[in-house]
A and B are shown apart, each in its own frame.
Chain A
Amino acid sequence: MLRILRAIVQRFLMPSAILVLGIASLLWGTFRNTLEIYEEQEIEISLAPPPEMMMQGDPMGGMGMPGGPEGGFPGEEGFPGEPGFEDPNFGGPPAMPPFMPGPPPEMQKVKQKILVSKEEPESRAVFEITIGGLALMDTGELQRTYTGAPPSLCPT
């Protein structure tokens, strides 16, 4: 009797339990389990120019009168209306009105790499490791080792 019981446990209950466990594990891994994978992405960001470049048409850097060649103050030689003044516009209006903002500054475009996390199914991770596409970061997170098209060969 004991022998039959042992045989039932060994040849029926045990493999049945392991089979059920295996099916559950496979289904969980395939349909439910997801892994957080960090991916390096290259993004393009637009940066505004530094503030001192904002005032165009101000060759003196905002410290003097535009259009005044050397002299900067009334009564001095070369100031408009004083002797020695040479009007570059021959009496016409100045080419660039003083303190008028120039054309809008050109935004500087910079490429930067950032890490973006994605939730991916375990089956995708199985595929990734067949091409050596995943690595463990120092922080304990998973990171994709390539950007763009996946490599064709496993590194080992």
Chain B
Amino acid sequence: MSDQAVMTYLDESELPYFFCPGCGHGVITDHLNAALVKLQLDPHKVVVVTDIGCSGLADKYFTTNAFHGLHGRSVTYATGIKLANPELKVIVLMGDGGCGIGGHHLINAARRNIGVTVVVFNNFNYGMTGGEHSVTTPPGGFTSSTPFGQLEYPMDICQTVAVNGASFVARMTSFDKGLPDLLAKAIQNDGFSLVDIWELCTAYYVPNNRFSKSLLENTLTSLNLSTGVVHQATRAEYSRAYRQSVADEAGKATLTSHPILPHYRSNLDRRMGIIIAGAAGKKINSAATLFCRGAVLSGLWANQRNDYPVTVKSGHSVSELILAPKEIGFSGITKPEVMLLLFKEGAFTVHTQLAAMNEQDIIFINSDLLPVKTKAKLIPIDFTQTGRWVSKKEYWSIIALSKYLSDMQIYPLEAFKEAVSARSEFAEDNLAAIEAGEKLC
């Protein structure tokens, strides 16, 4: 940027404004320009983000960067821009319509205190589509979609963002001389700012309601609303707060490769399907992953497909495992060779696979779940014989997998022990559970 002062941020070649005669939008645009001139910001470091509606025409007049986005979403683009590059001054121009359809984004931008300035061109109706009512249409107001008068209560945009964490909130009318200074203050605020500017829509709201400057001011009074700064707070600005909160993470190793070096041997010479039918919250999936890790340590290929409902701590949890001496293709199991039937929740969901099993197949079954109708060979596990593990159901799948490995020698139990030891958090208990399973033999 040159040292010379910027006299205007408006593109003279685009003037005069395209707004209707008497519309407040041109006045607000002029005042915003005056605020920018006062602040002398580098136009390259300013992004004017506009919404849909007549106010969305305003960005074309500025010599700064511009982003004209979808209806109600302007605050989200502004948030993305500010988050990505905090040194930019981001100014959102939106109408009362945008505040309605994008109300959720306004609230959340205020909650974050993201450093953007929202300027609301509030003229109580939709000027671009034909004068329909908006979230700010005053009680009884006549619009093309409220021909019998507005029944809905008007949204207080200022209070909405103020109670949700905004750090600078002000209301003014387009007739107020102090508007450039107020806008400059809003832009300078380090956090989320909103200026709600009341104005006249000479195309619709004025003729439909014989509305005027004095009636606009009366509406403010009747709704008990004040002008000027209505709320100020000191809070950390989000894009910088985010950077501070993650500062210690910089340079840490990200998801890197954790290769598994096979150093045990398995004699498995065919694909084997194993189903663990368990219950949610009983560590079925994590036990299955450790079991797969043991298999890979033994030179096998392993696949683990989990099935569960959307609930986390209730309902079934079923892991379908495939072990094979070569790379595994199809990840489904139409007929398992082995099933660990541990909890009734899981038992309910594996009927089809259970029915498909035949005399060569084996089911390790929690003896509480007996009898069960199947052609497969049943090997009961009585968890009351496991000592302290009887009450620790989240280790039952480890115990059952250990018994299965001990009985069938699919791969060495030592490999399973090594796999559980690699996960330090529960390593000790997991190892003890493997030993408990071994003793069941």
Q: Is this pair of chains taken from one and the same complex?
A: no
